[in-house]
A = this chain, B = another copy of it.
């Protein structure tokens, strides 16, 4: 069987597994905020309809300025991209023909982008039995032979967060060995306020690159907006290499207002705090193994039964789509990835997982 490469395609899963077309499915496979997008987005897009009849400003000046202001950076440290994906490919372009290190299991596109630009990849692994901690010692050993490290923090698909002290160590040693550390912060907005983004570190570590996505927090994956923050010399080079007009012209109407909408972020934090605590407790009590996630998704495994595929299919047959992990190196299908959703949807998931437990 060919497992699909990404989550967020409940219809495709239905088709693959022969679920009847009209079955109502709950999508736990995409890591999106179930509260969003903010209410005002629809009207704002409608009011700025005319922007689609014009070429985007090639420098995306308005949006880039508001991102820089929001992050407390200079405009020349920020590059707007077509989702986080374009940012990943662009940073790979910078290290073309070099050597990279990727810590798996993690987002698949780091490896794809490296192959696209002929970057040799060295794989190291977070291990479930070590609570998915960064394999720091092994990484430090390989550092002199590494041009760039791709990290995801919080990590997709584990939801775990690399410790600040480990990162500092990597960045400091990296400055000696000429190694750049790329940290994909696509899910950083879902972290509790006690774990801040690394934006402020950019002024300390010239070898740090941060990638961001506006897709997840604001539930606008269809609009494709992300950005990169890095030393201005790197941004300048990559701006020259970027495909022109790669971001659509509607973003100017949306992004500055999204960054201002602190109430929406508050509301999201309240929901997530409540629901993630609740789900982790209930699922642990039911005897499921979970990754120690800090965000809006987690890995799940049933310690009473070996076959995760069977659980995956059982959930699917009960109207719940999760994300298989067959194409995540270091997981190979031993877990499923599950999103934290609304209270009602989470209850439904719990109901089915209890049923599975009782029938197992």
A-side residues, CB < 8 A to B, are 5-6, 8-9, 12, 30, 32, 36-37, 41-42, 45-46, 49, 51-58, 82-83, 85-86, 89, 93, 109, 112, 116, 219-224, 241, 243-250
Q: Contacts of A5 on B, CB cut-off 8 Å? A: 58
Interface centre among A57, A86, A224 (most CB of B within 10 A): A224
Compute how far the CA of A244 lies from the CA of B85 in the bound complex, rounded to whole angstroms: 7
Q: Contacts of A58 on B, CB cut-off 8 Å? A: 5-6, 9
Chain B residue at minimum C-beta to C-beta distance from A29: B55
- Which of these, B6, B42, B54, B244, contacts A55 with CB under 8 Å? B6
Q: Contacts of A46 on B, CB cut-off 8 Å? A: 42, 45-46
A52 touches B30 (CB 8 A): no
Chain B residue at minimum C-beta to C-beta distance from A96: B118
Known: A58-B6, A116-B241, A248-B248. A52 touches B220 (CB 8 A): yes
A49 touches B56 (CB 8 A): no
A11 to chain B minimum Cβ distance, whole angstroms, is 8
Compute how far the CA of A293 lies from the CA of B152 in the bound complex, rounded to whole angstroms: 52
A221 to chain B minimum Cβ distance, whole angstroms, is 4
Known: A222-B250, A249-B221. A53 touches B82 (CB 8 A): no
- Which of these, B32, B37, B53, B221, contacts A245 with CB under 8 Å? B221
Known: A42-B49, A93-B116. A224 touches B241 (CB 8 A): no
Known: A219-B53, A220-B53. A246 touches B6 (CB 8 A): no
Compute how far the CA of A9 lies from the CA of B30 in the bound complex, rounded to whole angstroms: 38
A245 touches B116 (CB 8 A): no
Q: Contacts of A51 on B, CB cut-off 8 Å? A: 222
Chain B residue at minimum C-beta to C-beta distance from A116: B241
Compute how far the CA of A301 lies from the CA of B270 in the bound complex, rounded to whole angstroms: 64
Q: Contacts of A245 on B, CB cut-off 8 Å? A: 83, 85, 221, 224
**10 intermolecular pairs with C-beta atoms under 8 Å apart:** A6-B55, A8-B54, A45-B49, A52-B223, A56-B221, A86-B243, A221-B249, A223-B249, A246-B246, A248-B248
A-B complex: 8 closest residue pairs judged by Cβ atoms: A222-B249, A52-B222, A8-B55, A55-B221, A85-B243, A53-B219, A52-B223, A42-B49
Known: A6-B55, A9-B58. 6 other contacts (CB 8 A): A52-B221, A86-B246, A89-B243, A222-B248, A222-B250, A223-B248
Compute how far the CA of A7 lies from the CA of B247 in the bound complex, rounded to whole angstroms: 17
